Amino acid sequence: MLLKFLARRHGGNMLKNENVTFKFAPAEGQEFFRPLGWTPAGFFSISDEARRLKRFNIPLPFKIIGSLHALLSPGARERMRRFSGIAIFEKS
């Protein structure tokens, strides 16, 4: 879902370098790493951490748009929250 969003938003070119594209986004998410010996141990949303650290200043129009977030299903909200974050793994 993130790759599709970035393709629409940035024409598939997130880094503004036509020779570089963002391609790695396994459908299984963090579970991709389990067969490689890593167990998902946690996840921190960058936006949640920014709010917690009081380093997230959202302009009013985006606050209004963000309030529509509550209309999404819990599953859709969680997928959106995981667009940008920090995954923590433990060696299996």
Query: Which residue range forms the structural domain that includes residue 24?
Result: 2-91
Rounded to the nearest 10 degrees, how much is the dihedral formed by the CA atoms of 75, 81, 86, 89? -10
Task: Give the integer Cα–Cα distance in Å for 54 and 77.
Answer: 21
Query: How much is the pLDDT for 6?
Result: 64
Whether the per-residue pLDDT at 61 is higher than 60: the answer is: yes
Q: How confident is the model at residue 36 (pLDDT cuts 50, 70, 90)?
A: very high
Whether the per-residue pLDDT at 18 is higher than 70: the answer is: no
Number of domains forming the structure of the chain: 1
Whole-model pTM: value is: 0.58
Whether the per-residue pLDDT at 80 is higher than 60: the answer is: yes
